[in-house]
Amino acid sequence: MRFGIETKNLAAGNITIDASHRAFVYLGKKAIPTGSGARFTSVDFSCNGVPQVYFDVPYNVVGTAPGAPRTGIALCRLENLGGSSWRATFIYSPRIVLLGAGGVVEDMGLSLRIFGRLDLNPPRPPYGKGIMVRALDGSMLFCSTVRMLRQAGNTYDTQAVLKADIPAQNGNDPENVGDTFVDTPFNLVGKSILANTRGTISGAYYQGTFNNGEGIFEDYYDILKFNALYWASGSRLWVRRIPTDRYQYITQAGSVYFIDNSRRLPVYSRLSVIDNSQFP
């Protein structure tokens, strides 16, 4: 560290105040709108400086309607709209529950929790009683009267691996093959995560060759676009491969393969977890 103050929690060994690293403060939570099927959904909020965004994930949830999409969510974009205005965009596949002969989208009540740099988002006076630490330039390093970012356990040093593989065709449910997971040291019920997702991955699934009725044989493919979404069960965080778009591609029989997957690599994301009860 540079010249300045540093305090450490002797029991846990982690640094609690450090003049070299800016602390983050809880700015509040917002509901994540439920979509219909796998779709994008956005939440706008205010924060000075780049925020840290934690989000709930579906917990122990399975779609019950026939043909229902698998549940999952991931933060896929964080953009500045100008000044202190931000937009978090999620790819979200909610639960579908049975209702009569069909199914309806269930509002799963997921939220995001927003944290901003304390020095850029300081509390307004009166500050109340407690401890406050400022740097020589007057910027705030610590304030005990506000909710500072505190991670649960030691998962801030955990990596989640988002696979590069396109799931092999497996009946009508090829996405299961692409699932992966990371185990955490505690139950994930009532927790929020901060983790990245990889971009959309496309795969071509050969459906057969047919005569188009004019004497020309054509190859038929299903093109599936997959996204890696998170959901939790017990202490295990799953990265669930979900097809978020599907369309048919027809080309003349024997044409060159048109999706090049040769340079695809795994993506690694740091995983951080917080306890929602500390940030209501």
Rounded to the nearest 5 degrees, what angle is found at the Cα of 275, between the Cα atoms of 273 and 277? 160
CA-CA-CA-CA torsion sign (32, 33, 36, 39): negative
d(CA 261, CA 242): 18
pLDDT per residue as tens digits for the range 172-228:
555 566 788 999 988 999 999 999 888 888 888 888 898 888 888 998 888 888 888
pLDDT per residue as tens digits for the range 124-181:
888 778 777 877 777 888 888 889 887 776 666 788 888 877 776 654 555 566 788 9
- Is the Cβ–Cβ distance between 241 and 167 less than 8 Å? yes
- Average pLDDT, stretch 265-275? 90
Amino acid identity of residue 168, one-letter, is A
Name the one residue in this structure whose structure tokens are 């185990």: 183
Q: Is the pLDDT of residue 1 over 60?
A: no
Note the pLDDT of residue 67: 57
Contacts of 68 (CB under 8 A, 6+ apart): 95, 96, 103
What does 128-194 look like in DSSP terms, one character per residue? Answer: -SS-EEE-TTS-EEEETTS-B---STTGGGEEEEE--PPPPP-TT-GGGGG-EEEE-SS--TTEEEE
Name the one residue in this structure whose structure tokens are 């029989």: 253
pLDDT per residue as tens digits for the range 16-72:
666 667 789 999 999 998 765 558 889 999 999 999 999 999 998 766 555 566 788
Nearest to 114 by CA among 87, 136, 81: 87
Paired tokens of 132: 């406050």
Report how far apart the first and last C-alpha atoms of the chain are (Å, whole number). 33
Q: Which residue has the higher pLDDT, 269 or 103?
A: 269
Q: How confident is the model at residue 278 (pLDDT cuts 50, 70, 90)?
A: very high
Share of the chain above pLDDT 70, in %: 78
Nearest to 227 by CA among 76, 113, 14, 50: 76
Burial call 154-171: b when 16+ CB within 10 Å, e when fewer:
ebeebebebbeebbeeee
**pTM of the entire predicted model:** 0.83
Rounded to the nearest 5 degrees, what angle is found at the Cα of 153, between the Cα atoms of 147 and 159? 110
Note the pLDDT of residue 171: 46
Residue 233: enclosing H or E segment and its boundaries? strand 217-233
Dihedral class, residue 167 (left if φ above 0, else alpha if ψ from -120 to 50, else beta): beta
d(CA 110, CA 116): 20
